[in-house]
């Protein structure tokens, strides 16, 4: 499948590489077609990888992965262009972390709203699924790295088919069906994004980012 990865950071490059390993064609999108990080990433792949502007990538992808910094996402989607994302499945992996006042960051959208809802409200035809934003990039595509893969990942969104496509991606990354929890509609992204301060605190207290949570009952 042709997939657009918007964003050239560690999430974009990690997921982009995994998608190529799985046989997909990936175009990494950034502000300029000669973005240095995108070209570095491109240099690590001999086929099925390309790089372009946000608009070029969004036009190329049947599915869009939002791997941008959450505070930049709305501008990025404007650059990508409504016509290039209309009707498509968009996996929103971003967190609206605002580092403008240093560490720890606050959330730029919070409490009664979320980044994923902002995307959904602004682009009603886009089929937004929040996914994978609750962990370090390395674990997103390699859950078996810890605890035999037995820990949880969450999705939410308004479109059942889009969620089922998201689940297929997660399973191809190694996530077990029983560890993927569908929380409901896109408003549930509030809780997923508001988990980040706790994630950062646990990371700070344990000095280890390669952790995740497992629901036990």
Cα separation of 217 and 214, whole Å? 10
Q: Which is nearer to a copy of itself, 46 or 217 (CB)?
A: 217
Residue 74 vs 110, nearer CB to a copy of itself: 110
Q: For strand 97-98 and strand 106-107, is the pairing parallel, antiparallel, or unpaired?
A: antiparallel
Cβ atoms 26, 19 nearer than 8 A: yes
Residue of 110, 125, 133, 142 that binds a copy of itself (CB under 8 A): 110
Nearer Cβ to a copy of itself, position 36 or 150? 150
Give which of 159, 22, 183 is closest to 90, Cα–Cα: 159
Quick one: 6 or 128, whose CB is closer to a copy of itself?
128
For residue 1, state whether it binds a copy of itself (rule: CB under 8 A): no
* 175 near a copy of itself (CB under 8 A): no
**CA dist., res. 69 & res. 165, Å (int):** 23
214 sits near a copy of itself (criterion: CB under 8 A): yes
User: At its nearest, how many Å lie between a copy of itself and the CB of residue 139?
Assistant: 10
When asked if residue 176 is in the footprint of a copy of itself (CB under 8 A), the reply is no
Cβ neighbours of residue 38 closer than 8 Å, sequence gap 6 or more:
8, 28, 29, 30, 51
The reply to whether 40 sits near a copy of itself by the rule CB under 8 A is: no
Segment contacting a copy of itself (CB under 8 A): 3-11, 23-31, 66-74, 203-211? Answer: 203-211
Concatenated DSSP letters of 27-83: EEEESSTT-HHHHHHHHT-SSSEEEEEHHHHHHH-SEEEE-S-TTTHHHHHHHH-HH
Applying CB under 8 A, which of residues 156, 166, 171, 180 lies at the interface with a copy of itself? 156
CB atoms within 10 A of CB 205: 8
Q: Is 130 in the site for a copy of itself (CB under 8 A)?
A: no
* CB neighbours of residue 217 within 10 Å: 2
Phi then psi for 160, rounded to 5 degrees? -60, -40
Give min distance, CB of 190 to a copy of itself, in A.
5
Identity of the residue, 23 or 103, whose beta carbon is nearer to a copy of itself in the bound complex: 103
Give me 127's structure tokens. 């089929």
Asked whether position 191 contacts a copy of itself by CB under 8 A, the answer is yes
Q: Determine if 166 is a binding residue for a copy of itself (CB under 8 A).
A: no
Residues at the site binding a copy of itself, with contacts judged by CB under 8 A: 104, 106-107, 110-112, 146-147, 150-151, 154, 156, 181-184, 187-188, 190-192, 194-202, 204-206, 208, 210-217
């Amino acid at each position: 499948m042709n997939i657009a990865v918007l964003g050239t950071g560690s999430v974009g490059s990690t997921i982009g590489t995994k998608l190529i390993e799985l046989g997909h064609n990936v175009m990494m999108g950034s502000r300029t077609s000669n973005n240095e990080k995108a070209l570095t990433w491109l240099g690590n792949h001999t086929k099925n990888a390309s790089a372009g502007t946000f608009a070029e990538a969004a036009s190329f992808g049947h599915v869009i992965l939002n791997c941008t910094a959450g505070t930049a996402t709305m501008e990025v989607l404007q650059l990508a262009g409504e016509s290039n994302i209309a009707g498509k499945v968009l996996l929103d992996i971003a967190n609206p972390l605002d580092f403008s006042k240093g560490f720890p960051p606050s959330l730029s959208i919070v409490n009664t709203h979320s980044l994923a809802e902002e995307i959904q409200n602004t682009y009603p035809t886009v089929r937004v699924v929040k996914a994978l934003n609750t962990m370090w990039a390395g674990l997103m595509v390699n859950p078996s790295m810890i605890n035999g893969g037995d820990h949880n990942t969450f999705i939410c969104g308004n479109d059942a088919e889009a969620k089922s496509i998201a689940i297929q991606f997660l399973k191809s990354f190694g996530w077990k069906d029983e560890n993927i929890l569908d929380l409901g509609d896109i408003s549930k992204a509030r809780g997923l994004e508001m988990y980040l301060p706790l994630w950062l605190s646990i990371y700070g207290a344990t000095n280890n980012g390669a952790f995740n949570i497992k629901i036990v009952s």
